[in-house]
Amino acid sequence: MTPQAPHLIEDIRAASRKLVREFGFLEKTIAGTDLSGSGVHAIIEIGLTPSLTAKELGARLKLEKSTISRLLKSLETRGEIVQTQSKTDGRAFQLHLTPKGKDTWMAINRFGDNQARTALANITGVDTATIANALTSYAQALGSDASKAAPDGTQYPVVEGYQTGMIGDISALHARTHGPIVGMGPAFERVVSQAMAEFMPRVYRPMNNSWSVLENEAVIGSITIDGEDLSNNIAHLRWFILSERLRGKGLGKVLLNKALAHCDRLGFNEIHLWTLKGLDAARALYEKNGFDLAEEYLGDQWGHEVMEQKFIRKRPA
């Protein structure tokens, strides 16, 4: 990567902050509407892509599933959108603008067009195509963030929800990683795959979620929050695993941060996780993020007696 002059970096950051302010994103409503920034962007994307699904909208807006659920419910209550169940996938819901939503979409576009034309009319010495190309390139480059790229430049997308083949992929990762501790053989892999098979049909419920690192559509790292199987407003962190070749690239931290943010946003009082003694790198990451060792005991559920550990993280005050 070519080194950049510090003063140019400062200029770009200052311009970016001014863009945020001028577009009105620090206000409660933007674009001449009474909608929030996320509401305006949701209306725009649904208007641009008829039959967009909630999952696809979340990916475009870079918002978590629970946030998207609340946003869509709000827009539906306002009469701006309707959600219809997909004919090809009963778990997916397609989004459509109502007549009122189409009017809002057109008003937002008129506002944005006028804002852009007014600003461009005040610029001299630089043609519009140059500005458009520069902004497009910069916006695309911003998308290459730490959640998608390892330090060595290899791209590893992080995605939400169920992924085809993930039960087998994650079970195999656990078996290969933990086999030397719990003993090789089918017992441990069977327990993991059965538990995942029970959970995945309900991963789409608002309290639950899963995040996976993909490579050629295969899951090579993952973490899950099960918000339903423990009582008293306690979340269960499950199946946190990374392929050995991914370790040291910061992807474990990326996955854990997504899981913790989900729990904090939903207001869970505590997060509990169970793991095996001897996984020191994982333990260090847990403790760095507020987990404390609560219990240590011998367990035999894996077909081999091993020392298990329970960690608890309480919601930050």
Residues 182 and 90 in one domain: no
- Tell me if 152 is assigned to some domain: no
- Read off the pTM: 0.54
Give the CATH number, domain containing residue 304: 3.40.630.30
Residues 133 and 236 in one domain: no
Q: Flag whether 248 is in a domain.
A: yes
DSSP 302: T
The CA distance from 109 to 78, in Å, is 19
Residue at 148 is within a domain: no
The arithmetic mean of pLDDT across residues 72-93, rounded, is: 82
Please name the residue that has the structure tokens 């929800």: 161
Neighbours of 113 (CB within 10 A): 10
Tokens of 299: 């367990």
CATH of the domain at 62: 1.10.10.10
**Of 39-48, 185-194, 257-266, where does mean pLDDT reach its minimum?**
185-194
Beta strand extents in the chain (DSSP E only): 52-53, 81-85, 93-97, 158-160, 209-215, 218-226, 234-242, 270-276, 292-299, 306-314
Q: 109, 142, 175 — which closes off a domain?
A: 142
- Which of the residue ranges 24-28, 42-46, 178-182 has the most confident prediction, judged by mean pLDDT? 42-46
The CA-to-CA distance between both ends of the chain, in Å, stands at: 41
In terms of domains, do 138 and 277 share one?
A: no
Q: Please, which residues have CB within 8 angstroms of residue 88's CB and are 6 or more apart in sequence? A: none
pLDDT at 150: 47
Last residue in a domain, options 142, 171, 190:
142
Count up the domains in the chain and report the number. Answer: 2
Residues 80 and 170 occupy one common structural domain = no
Same domain, 50 and 198: no
Q: Which two tokens stand for residue 182?
A: 């719990």
Q: Are residues 305 and 169 in the same domain?
A: yes
Residue 123 shares a structural domain with residue 232: no
Q: Are strands 292-299 and 209-215 parallel, antiparallel or unpaired?
A: unpaired
Q: What are the pLDDT digits (tens) for 125-182?
A: 877 878 876 886 677 666 545 444 444 434 678 889 999 899 999 999 888 877 666 6
The reply to whether 45 and 182 lie within a common domain is no
Range of the domain at 53: 6-142
Could you tell me if 114 and 226 lie in one domain?
Answer: no
Tell me if 1 is assigned to some domain. no
- Ranked by mean pLDDT, which of 4-8, 88-92, 274-278 comes out on top? 274-278
Residues 299 and 170 in one domain: yes
pLDDT tens digits for range 249-293? 788 889 999 999 999 999 999 999 998 887 878 888 899 999 999
The CA distance from 255 to 231, in Å, is 24
Q: Are 106 and 186 within one domain?
A: no
Q: Is residue 153 part of a domain?
A: no
Q: Identify whether 151 is part of a domain.
A: no
pLDDT for the residue numbered 147: 47
In-domain check, residue 270: yes
Q: How confident is the model at residue 248 (pLDDT cuts 50, 70, 90)?
A: confident
Residue 232 lies in a domain: yes
In order of 108, 166, 186, the CA distances from 174 in angstroms are 49, 12, 11
HSE, CB side, 13 Å, CA atoms: give it for residue 174: 25
Tell me: do 186 and 118 sit in the same domain.
Answer: no
The residue from 107, 142, 177 where one domain ends is 142
CA dihedral 82, 88, 90, 93 (to 10 degrees): -20
Query: What confidence score (pLDDT) does residue 133 get?
Result: 66
pLDDT given at position 3: 61
